[in-house]
Amino acid sequence: MKKYFAVSVLAASILAVTGCQEEKAEAPAAAQVALENVDQQQAYAIGASVSRYIATTLEQQKELGLELDNALVLKGMQDGLSGEVAMSEEDIQASLKALDEKLAGLVEAKAAEDAAAAKAESDKYLTDNAAREGVTVTESGLQFEVLTAAEGDKPSAADTVTVHYKGTLTDGSTFDSSYDRGEPATFPLNRVIPGWTEGVQLMSKGAKYKFFIPSELGYGENGAGSIPPNSILVFEVELIEIEKADAPAAETPAS
């Protein structure tokens, strides 16, 4: 968070100096400055690059409910350059530390709020989905729908399976697909998320199921990559092959 804060303060001062507020941006900034040589262009490029990068950070802080007074940020910079700072070094460090902690608290609170909202939305989705015809709910809360039925042996958790699959979020966005990669995936069934381990054991070779995996059987409160926290995972899975785990060797009778 220290870096986040420091960059934010710099952005606030740049915006104050250059007048990037909407009410002051009446003409393109390039029309108000002379860029006649390489040194001028490089100096301007530094300010433009940093301010554009930091504008996003400032907007994120606003969303968290934190807004800095640009006039005071600018005054602090001016006093620092002139050597006439109104605060002691100890007070400056204490203020920065306090703001650092405030930002961390705001980020944590926002994350908790978003996670709670996602959990409530997921619970409603699962409740509604469970009521649909053709959807079965297991004791763990896993939901599935048989798209193509098949008969025969089913894999155990220790077996290795070959499958084609497509994984989406409830909004339909795809986060993983063996179909897109053009080849099926092979893996031990006990090395994947619990919803997969349980669900694929219900299938026979040649079957195709659609699974609705609650977050607690998927990636939980943390999420993973592009998968947000508390997300339901929707998988269409086609079981192509089952490779049985090696059977234990028979014991040699004692002579």
Q: Which residues are catalytic?
A: 165, 175-176, 193, 219, 235
**Residues with Cβ < 8 Å from 154, sequence gap 6 or more?**
201, 202, 203, 204, 242
Q: How many CA atoms lie within 13 A of 131 on its CB side?
A: 5
What amino acid is encoded at 3 in this protein? K
How far apart CA 177 and CA 185 sit, in angstroms, is 10
Name the 3-class secondary structure at 156: coil
Spatial separation of the C-alpha atoms in residues 172 and 167, rounded to whole Å: 9
Q: Which residue, among 55, 64, 166, 51, has the nearest Cα to 109 in the 3D structure?
A: 64
The CA-based dihedral angle spanning residues 15, 19, 20, 25, taken in that order and rounded to the nearest 10 degrees: 180
Structure tokens at 146: 């048989």
Whether the CB-CB separation of 136 and 130 falls below 8 Å is answered with: no
- 213 close to 233: Cβ distance less than 8 angstroms: yes
Q: Are 193 and 164 in contact (CB under 8 A)?
A: no
E strands of 22-141, at which residues?
135-137
